[in-house]
Every structure is written in structure tokens, then in C-alpha cells.
């Protein structure tokens, strides 16, 4: 049984036994442990437990408390005017695939999409991205390995004035590398040469299975990058989701998108209700209201 399955089992077993009744000290301790195993920080898990105790100390309020503390839904920026989205993150989190999914999503909406392959560090990055998008009704602008990513972006912006959405796949950053994060800041400045409003979105992609490591990545990236939202990937596997509560508490960065599979359509807008229901093992979804 995985950690998330253990949390679900605990929740449902406790609901059946203790509906409307106070949690025992032993159950409180187990709930704290399960919250931590669901990737909540110790500080956040303790705060949640205190809220649960204050609001009735029974299982009926667990979902209520989690939902009240979850990051709120915040939509992506309006693309009725030209918009530049920077997709950032460390290698291996699903960044390039996320770019392709976004391109597919906006192309289906009839948007004029330009995909910018600005990852000139990773050997296979250009081939991977161009292969993913070459069957879509989108424009792809890339460059050779080792070429200047800023020049690629400048060319894409200059040559496609009618585009609605520019999706910029950036090189995977080691979140502890100051030089790489500084290079990303320079790339963002290129967009501002066309408009001070660029970029409209800087989306940090986090692997939903990495837990506290994702939290550390967010803490590092935010030091030099104006992050506007998070994308959680691999949410169909063993992801637990607790880290987003700590990121919201400390950085106020909303989750905007969730990816849950390998297909291009496997992307959706974030919903606090769905995340909480996933943590608790419920099937209910809810809307974004």
C-alpha cells in the first residue's frame, strides 16, 4: 500500500468508526503522520490538526479544513491579446511535454500558437519538442544546440506579430544554480523589449510525486524569477499534493494547471476540490467556484 493509499484508508476507516465523534489522541497522532506522508510539511500538518481540533475535532471537518487551506483557483491570463508564457523547471519534471499539451489546448481553441524551443542546452530538447508539435496547427521556432536562447525568442516574437500565444520551452534549470536562473531572467527581459507586459505567465512545472523537493525548487526559483503559477505533473501516479499547501502559505503562488497522463489532452485547470478529494480518496470533483 502506497503512502497516499494509506492516507485514504485511514480517512475512510476513521469516518466509518468516528462519524460525528471526537478524534482520540491516537487518531490525532495518526492523522498528523498521514498528513506528513501526504507531503504536508510538519509545520503545516500541525497547523491543520489544530484547526481540525478547534472546529470540532472530528473527521467531518477534515475536508472542510483542507479545502479552506488549499490554494484557490486562479485562471491563466487572458489570451485575447498576445501573450507570452514561459515554462520553467528542472529537468525531468515534464516541462517540454507540458508545453506540447498547452499548445494542443490552445490550438483546439483556435488560437494562433507559436511554440518557441528556447532550450538549447539539452541535446534532444529541440527534436523532442518539434516532434511533439509538428502535427499540430502551430508554428515552431527553434535553434541549434548551444545557440542563444534570447535570439530564438526575439526571432519568434519579431516574425509572428499576429500570434495569440507564445509558449516558450526554457532549458531545464538546476534550481540551486544561480547562473542558470540569472540566464532565465535575461530571457524574460527579451520579451519586455516588445512589451513591458511580457511575459504574461511564468509557469513553474513541478513533479507532483517529488513532495518536499518540489517545495524546495519553488523556494529557489522564486528568488530570481517572477513566477505566476504552478503546473503539477504526474498527478496520475503516486502524487500526494501536500506540498502545494506550503508553497501557497509561504509564497502565495497559485496552482494553475494539473497534468495527469501522457496524452496531449491529459491536462486540466487546477481545482482545489479535486486535489482535496484526491488526498482523501474521494471520487467527488467539484468545480472551480
- List average pLDDT for each run of 10 residues in the chain, which is 289 residues long: 53 63 82 84 91 78 89 88 90 92 96 93 82 93 86 93 93 66 80 80 90 86 88 76 88 93 92 81 45
Which phi and psi angles does 258 have, rounded to 5°? -130, 130
* Pairing mode of beta strands 165-170, 201-207: unpaired
Contact 256, 231 (CB under 8 A): yes
> For residue 202, how far is the Cα from the chain centroid?
11
The pLDDT value recorded for residue 251 is: 92
Confirm or reject CATH 3.40.50.300 for domain 83-280, answering yes or no. yes
* 3-state SS track over the chain: CCHHHHHHHHHHHHHHHHCCCCCCHHHHHHHHHHHHHCCCCHHHHHHHHHHHHHCCCCHHHHHHHHHHHCCCCCCCCCCCCCEEEEEECCCCCCHHHHHHHHHHHHHHCCCCEEEEEECCCCCCHHHHHHHHHCCCCCEEECCCCCCCHHHHHHHHHHHCCCCCEEEEEECCCCCCCHHHHHHHHHHHHHHHCCCCCCCCEEEEEEECCCCHHHHHHHHHHCCCCCCCEEEEECCCCCCCCCHHHHHHHHHCCCEEEEECCCCCCCEEECCHHHHHHHHHCCCCCCCCC
* Pairing mode of beta strands 255-259, 267-269: antiparallel
The pLDDT value recorded for residue 6 is: 54
Distance CA 246, CA 239 (A): 15
The pLDDT value recorded for residue 159 is: 94
The pLDDT value recorded for residue 1 is: 41
Query: Where do the structural domains in the chain lie, given as residue ranges?
Result: 83-280
The pLDDT value recorded for residue 240 is: 67
**Region of residue 192 (left: phi > 0; alpha: psi -120 to 50; beta: else):** alpha
Amino acid at each position: 500500500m502506497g503512502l497516499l493509499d494509506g492516507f485514504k484508508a485511514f480517512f475512510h476507516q476513521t469516518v466509518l468508526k468516528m462519524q460525528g465523534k471526537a478524534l482520540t489522541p491516537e487518531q490525532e497522532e495518526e492523522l498528523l503522520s498521514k498528513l506528513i506522508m501526504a507531503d504536508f510539511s510538519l509545520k503545516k500538518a500541525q497547523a491543520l490538526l489544530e484547526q481540525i481540533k478547534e472546529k470540532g475535532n472530528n473527521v467531518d471537518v477534515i475536508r472542510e479544513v483542507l479545502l479552506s487551506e488549499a490554494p484557490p483557483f486562479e485562471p491563466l491570463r487572458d489570451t485575447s491579446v498576445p501573450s507570452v508564457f514561459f515554462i520553467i523547471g528542472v529537468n525531468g519534471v515534464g516541462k517540454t511535454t507540458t508545453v506540447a499539451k498547452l499548445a494542443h489546448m490552445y490550438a483546439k481553441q483556435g488560437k494562433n500558437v507559436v511554440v518557441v524551443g528556447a532550450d538549447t542546452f539539452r541535446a534532444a530538447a529541440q527534436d523532442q519538442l518539434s516532434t511533439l508539435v509538428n502535427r499540430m496547427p502551430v508554428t515552431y521556432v527553434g535553434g541549434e544546440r548551444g545557440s542563444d536562447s534570447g535570439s530564438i525568442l526575439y526571432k519568434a516574437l519579431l516574425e509572428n506579430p499576429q500570434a495569440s500565444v507564445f509558449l516558450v520551452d526554457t532549458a531545464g534549470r538546476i534550481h540551486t544554480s544561480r547562473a542558470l536562473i540569472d540566464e532565465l531572467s535575461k530571457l524574460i527581459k527579451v520579451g519586455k523589449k516588445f512589451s513591458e507586459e511580457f511575459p504574461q505567465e511564468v509557469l513553474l512545472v513541478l513533479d507532483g510525486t517529488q513532495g518536499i523537493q518540489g517545495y524546495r525548487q519553488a523556494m529557489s526559483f522564486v528568488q530570481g524569477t517572477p513566477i505566476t503559477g504552478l503546473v503539477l505533473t504526474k498527478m496520475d501516479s503516486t502524487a500526494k499534493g501536500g506540498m502545494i499547501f506550503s508553497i501557497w502559505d509561504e509564497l502565495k503562488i497559485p496552482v494553475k494547471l494539473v497534468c495527469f497522463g501522457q496524452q496531449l489532452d491529459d491536462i486540466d485547470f487546477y481545482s482545489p476540490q479535486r486535489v482535496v478529494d484526491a488526498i482523501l480518496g474521494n471520487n467527488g470533483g467539484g468545480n472551480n467556484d
